[in-house]
Structure 1
Amino acid sequence: MTESAEHRIESAQVRRSPRYAMFFLVGGVLGVLVALVLTFGFNGTLDVSPTTQAQYSTGQVFGFLCLFCIPVGVAVLGAVALLIDRGFSRRVRDVRVDHERIVIDDDHERGA
C-alpha cells in the first residue's frame, strides 16, 4: 500500500449569507397570518357579493386571501433576504485554506 499526499495552501473568500428558505417560510407564515386577520377582522363574509351575487363562507374568504397574501409575504421577505445578502457581500474576508489531498494506492492488495 503506497500513500502520497499533496499539500498546498490556497486563499479563499468567506462571507455570511442569509438562509433563503427560512425567509421564504417565514414570509409564507406571515402571509397566512395576514389572511387570517383580514378574514376575521372585517365582517364582510355575510354580505352578498355585488359582482357575483353569491355569498362566500369564511373558509372561502380565507382561501382567497391566502392565494394573494402568501405569495406577497414570500416575495417581500425574499426581497429582504436579498437586501441582507447584498449588505453581507460587502464584508468579504480573505482566509487561508489548507488543502490536503491524500491518495492511497492499494493495487498490490487486489493482486495487480
Structure 2
Amino acid sequence: MVEEADKPAPSAPAELIEESVETVSVRRAPKMLVFLVLGAALGVLAALIFTYGFGVFDATGAEQSAYSAVSYTSGQVFGFLVLVCGVVGVALGGIVALILERTVGRRTREVQVGRERVTTVD
C-alpha cells in the first residue's frame, strides 16, 4: 500500500514570460451603425409626418392618386414613404458618419503600450 506522502509531486508547468513596450497610434472614429440606425429612424419619422401631415384622406381612410384612379390607404402611403425616406435617411446618416470620420479621424496620437506574452512549457 502506497501512502500519499510516498507519491511524487506532479511538476507544475513552467511559464515563459516575454514583456515588450510598443508605440501604437490611437484615433477616435464614430460608430457607423449608430449613424445608419439614427438616419433610418429619422427617415421613418419623416415618412410619418409626410403621410399624416400632408395627406388628404377621405372618410374610408383612402387617398385618391393624382395620376391614376387608384385609391391608397394611409397604411399603404406610409409604407411607400418609409421605403423611400428610410433609404434616404440611411444614406444621409452614412454620409454624416463618413464626414465625421474624415474630420475627427485626422487627430491621432501616439501612445506606448506594454505587452506581455505568457507561454507555458510542459
Per the normalisation by structure 2, the TM-score is 0.81
Q: Of 5, 12, 18, which residue of structure 1 is paired with 2:30?
A: 18
Q: Aligned in 2, Cα 1:43/1:89: closer, same or farther, shift over 3 Å?
A: closer
Q: Of 42, 46, 52, which residue of structure 2 is paired with 1:34?
A: 46
- How far has the Cα of 1:90 moved from its partner? 1.3
Please tell me the residue identity of whatever aligns with 1:25.
V
Q: Of 16, 32, 52, which residue of structure 2 is paired with 1:4?
A: 16
Distance in structure 2 (CA, Å) of the matches to 1:43 and 1:63: 13
Distance in structure 2 (CA, Å) of the matches to 1:30 and 1:104: 54
Distance in structure 2 (CA, Å) of the matches to 1:104 and 1:43: 71
Distance in structure 2 (CA, Å) of the matches to 1:88 and 1:43: 41
* 1:79 aligned residue: 95
Per the normalisation by structure 1, the TM-score is 0.88
What is the alpha-carbon root mean square deviation over aligned residues?
1.2
Superposed CA offset, 1:33-85 (max 9, x none): 00000001113344422333100000000000001000100110111011111
Number of equivalenced pairs: 106
Q: Of 56, 67, 70, which residue of structure 2 is paired with 1:54?
A: 70
Return 5+ residue gaps in structure 1 as ranges: 108-112
- Aligned residue for 1:56, secondary structure, equals strand
Runs of 4+ in 1 over 4 A off after TM superposition: none
Which has the larger share of strand?
2
- How far has the Cα of 1:88 moved from its partner? 1.5
* 1:88 aligned residue: 104
Distance in structure 2 (CA, Å) of the matches to 1:45 and 1:63: 15
